[in-house]
Amino acid sequence: MPDEWFVTADGRRRWGRHGAAGILVVTRPPRRMLLVRRAGWVHGGRGQWSIPGGALLAGETADEAAVREFAEEMGGLPGGWRPLARYVDEVVPGEWSYTTILAEASEAPDYSATLSDEHDAHVWAAVEDARRMNLFAPFARVLPRLLEALE
């Protein structure tokens, strides 16, 4: 099963045998980014903010998984979205990675009615405000690299 805990060579448990992927959606200027607060019961919960994403299924590309996970967790991508960049975090090189798709959207919908139970809130945060939020550590680590693509 792909959606299972997997122990990598570094001895840490990771969610998703085939890796994981997500989408960071930003609006056209003025830039705001969609962040979701992880529910307390999910890995890395504790009120931390991150992006919609999750485990890759067997045979699925990171892009396919990111779009599927976004739809499952948010209800669908915002109108006029398009990918801008992609960052692959080789967490355990050759064994487990997390791919983040940076995407731009023409709108910032309210996802309150479609937000999955994996998250207890969402916000369209200004980039500078997002940098000061309680971010999920793996996302916080790659955020500066993703934002470089917006410059």
**5-148 placed in CATH 3.90.79.10:** yes
Q: Where are the domains of the chain?
A: 5-148
Neighbours of 87 (CB within 10 A): 16
What's the pLDDT tens digit per position in 91-105? Answer: 888 888 899 999 999
Question: Cis link prior to 30 (omega < 30° from 0)?
Answer: yes
What's the pLDDT tens digit per position in 25-63? Answer: 999 999 999 999 998 888 767 889 999 999 999 999 999
Cα–Cα distance between 68 and 89 in angstroms, integer? 19
The yes-or-no verdict on residue 1 having pLDDT over 60 is: no
Strands 96-105 and 20-27: parallel
3: pLDDT confidence band, cut at 50, 70 and 90? low
pLDDT mean over 119-125: 96
Question: Cis link prior to 52 (omega < 30° from 0)?
Answer: no
0.95 cut: is pTM over it?
no
The residues near 106 (Cβ < 8 Å, ≥ 6 apart) are 27, 28, 78, 79, 80, 81
